[in-house]
Copies of this chain bind each other. A is one copy, B any other.
Amino acid sequence: MARRGREMGKGRLRKETQSAFSQLPFQNLKIPYQPYNIISDDQIEAIHDASMDVLEQIGINFLLDEARDILKQAGADVREGETRVRFERGMVEELVAKAPSEFTMHARNPAHNIQFGANNINFALVASPPNASDMIGGRRAGNMTDFLDFIKLGQSLNITHMIGGYPVEPADLPANTRHLTAEREVIKLSDKVSFGYSLGRDRIHDSMEMIRIGRGVSWDQMKNEPSIMTTVNANSPLQYDIPMLIGMIEMATHGQPVSVTPFTLAGAMAPVTLAGALAQQNAEALAGIAFIQAVNPGSPVWYGGFTSNVDMKTGAPAFGTPEYAKAVLIGGQLTRRYGVPYRSSNVNASNAPDVQSAYESQMSIWPCMLGHANLVKHALGWLEGGLCASFEKVIIDAEMLQMMAEVMKPVEINDAEFGLSAIEEVGPGGHYFGCAHTMERYETAFYSPMLSDWQNFENWQEAGSLDATTRAHNIYKQLLADFVPPALDPAVAEELDHFVERRIAEGGQDPNSYGERK
């Protein structure tokens, strides 16, 4: 260090080999800046009113009998022989107000607990694509090998706060027992907050049970400590289907948080205007949240925004568009009106981990920060509008998210930081490489990238002219090679194995049935 210091003092910085891999520590990130509002409070009220008109006059289909019974009990307008449920606006607001504005999710490793609501922001690994790809192996159908590798990356990369679903569908596992086999491995390979899918009563219940065993807590404790998340998408427009409603009931009954996320693609499943799509998003999200509060008042939820648009030339869905950016920002304004945590996503529609994937993602990441999204799903690895999980994109996203984490680090403004004596010491025409003010701070002064290459052109060329996607490939391979699973109490592992083996022996759950109420 002293030698280095002297060299810096001479103003000739030695070119050092870049360290193989450096990353920020795991952090509970908070956005220190005000939310960025792009429409007025009056305009937010207008969207609210339009969505209340939808709920009062048009209504939402709730396809599960039990769900309609719950809503009728709560005072909704449920008519005999109709699946359509209409909601009086006062009732909706009253129910939504019961949802907590903040909650903590508990991980298997308490150091990885995470907070939602207020100005907290958390990044979840890509969830649910049917395909996986890397630039050497190409694109292939989802499988367990890739699934495990993605989980390892999610665990290794500190910027990943949680596993938000199957990072890719392990389609080579039998459907009846897939959730058991796959989620057991998630619990073993990762000690971060995890997920379950709302695809029938047995499955979501199995998922809760595995997480409970992994954490080594009782059902009573678990009920007070949200530990597993699920996402429920409305079947936009204006419909909640049976598996989703069962999932909401099961999760809410056990105090586990649900991301209620209408998928309102403007021009396809929602009006072709942002105003219309957001009014519909708001109606669907609030109906879902109100339903959950009717099941179990105070059960945690996220208001999920997923309004994007289609390419009107082809009908293809588009993501990370300017319209998406604005929908994310307005979605944040809406959630703040209701005082519920906000869930958004890091999206793009590119078919390759190329510049399009990067700039469309940035059109998501900046609005998520600016709009105070508390949960950013698909934050690492999403490609092709969600049809593919990309290994290189995981690394590209990790770098972009780390950069955003550093943007959120408040600038220190004080006399020691100004360093006027250093400015005086260096004087006109000098340089700051060797002065004391620099030497005291240089090691931690700036963000140190994991993927970006700042070598000059000649050195970069000499090192093989590797573009950032190629470097991302090499980094993910190295991370997998270096992976060490997190500690797990052998007794817990054994209990988990026993449960999974028993449930597999019982046949898991028929994906075409919904299972029995627990």
Which residue of chain B has the shortest Cβ distance to A50 in the bound complex? B418
CA distance A285 to B1 in the complex (A): 35
Of A67-75, A147-155, A245-253, A438-446, which stretch is located at the interface?
A438-446
| Alpha-carbon separation in the docked complex, A131 to B309 (Å) | 40
Query: B318 touching A446 by the CB < 8 A rule?
Result: yes
**Copies of this chain per assembly:** 2
The residues in A between 240 and 275 inclusive whose CB is less than 8 angstroms from any CB of B are: 266-275
Q: Which chain B residues lie closer than 8 Å to A18 at the CB level?
A: 313-314
Q: Say yes or no: A453 contacts B351, CB within 8 Å.
A: yes
| CB neighbours of A412 from chain B (8 A) | 273-275
Pair B239/A429 contact, Cβ less than 8 Å: yes
Closest chain B residue to A405 by CB distance?
B322
Min CB distance A236 to B, Å, is 9
Instruction: Say if the beta carbon of A174 comes within 8 Å of chain B.
Output: no
Does A316 sit within 8 A of B, measured CB to CB?
yes
Binds B, one of A104-112, A113-121, A462-470, A493-501: A462-470
Judge whether A299 is part of the interface by a CB distance below 8 angstroms: no
Q: Which of A54, A280, A330 has the largest number of chain B CB atoms within 10 A?
A: A280
A465 to B135, CA, bound (A): 12
CA distance A422 to B457 in the complex (A): 56
Q: How far is the CB of A321 from chain B (nearest CB, A)?
A: 6
The residue of chain B having its C-beta at the shortest distance from the C-beta of A439 within the complex is B272
A155 vs chain B, min Cβ distance (A) = 24
> Are the CB atoms of B433 and A36 closer together than 8 Å?
no
A357 within 8 A of B: yes
Stretch from A175-183, A195-203, A208-216, A362-370 that touches the partner: A362-370
Given A272-B438, A275-B411, A275-B418, 10 further pairs, Cβ under 8 A: A39-B413, A235-B429, A237-B431, A267-B446, A271-B438, A275-B414, A311-B448, A323-B406, A325-B403, A351-B457
- Which 10 A-B pairs rank lowest in CB-CB distance, beginning with the nearest? A13-B315, A322-B406, A362-B362, A275-B417, A354-B467, A356-B468, A238-B428, A358-B358, A61-B428, A355-B358
Residues of chain A touching chain B, judged by Cβ–Cβ distance below 8 Å, are: 13, 15-16, 18, 32-34, 36-39, 43, 46-47, 50, 53-54, 57-61, 83-84, 131, 139, 235, 237-239, 266-276, 279-280, 309-318, 321-323, 325-326, 330, 349-363, 366, 370, 384, 387-388, 396, 399-400, 403-404, 406-407, 409-415, 417-420, 422-424, 426-433, 437-438, 441-443, 445-448, 451-457, 460-461, 465, 467-469, 472
